[in-house]
Amino acid sequence: MTITAKRRHTYADLPRLMGLMTGDEKHGPAATSTLDALWVLYDRVLRVTPERLTDPERDRFLLSKGHGPMAYYAVLAAKGFLPVEWLPGFGSHDSPLGHHPDRVLVPGAEIGSGSLGHGLPIGVGMALGLRARGLGEPRVWVLVGDAELDEGSNHEAIAFAGPAGLERLHTVVIDNSSASHGRPGGIAARFEAAGWSTAPVDGRDHEALYAAFTAPHPGRPHVVVAQVEPKSP
């Protein structure tokens, strides 16, 4: 693969990059809700680069909220993981950028996602695997949507990770008030009851996101609940 666009992209470029992707199944609101959290993670927090995709010491990022990958693809392109020239082909039959990310086709994608409820259990297993291998530095980050927490598989993962002391495991919940069984403050309370460190935050405030992402949480997994505007009908 040859990446022809070498200039550095910034946050201000993301709307233009997302605008290159067209089609009937863009899931625009789902994608846009994740944009700021994704940018802060890839710009300031994650220890992974296009050159470190196979480095055992890299951080792992799992997009469990795989129904809206446009923002994810835009951020990966902005950071040089994939060519900007791929973006206009989004969703076409011969494009690696499908409506759900495929780890075999998308550079930087750690899992294939789109089936809601899979990412956090996989993240738990990944954190356990890193621990078993004696790799204490890599961190596992999982991004989920608030409605995705209705899935029972996530409940089991949340309940296990706290008592297991998986402090290298981090979850970012994008809360756009779309959960069928949600209530104000309920997400953070649910994680906290299971032994997690919790940080509710404005999901559009980059400095607040960075502070929440980097807050210390010795001996416990950590969840950042990023509140954004309600999803449009």
Taking the CA atoms of residue 124, residue 27, residue 13 and residue 109 in that order, the dihedral angle to the nearest 10 degrees is: 30
The pLDDT score that the predictor gives to residue 27 is: 63
Give the pLDDT mean for 98-104.
93
pLDDT above 90 covers what percent of the chain? 79
**pLDDT for 14 beyond 50:** yes
**pLDDT for 116 beyond 50:** yes
Give the pLDDT mean for 20-48.
86
Give the pLDDT mean for 104-131.
94
pTM for the full predicted model: 0.92
Model confidence at 2, pLDDT cuts 50, 70, 90, reads very low
Query: Between residues 24 and 129, which one has the greater pLDDT?
Result: 129
The pLDDT score that the predictor gives to residue 4 is: 43
Whole-angstrom distance, CA of residue 232 vs CA of residue 137: 39
Average pLDDT, the chain: 91
Structure letter (DSSP) for residue 90: T
Using DSSP's 3-state secondary structure scheme, residue 35 falls into helix
What are the strands, taking DSSP E only, across the chain?
Answer: 60-63, 140-145, 169-175, 197-202, 222-227
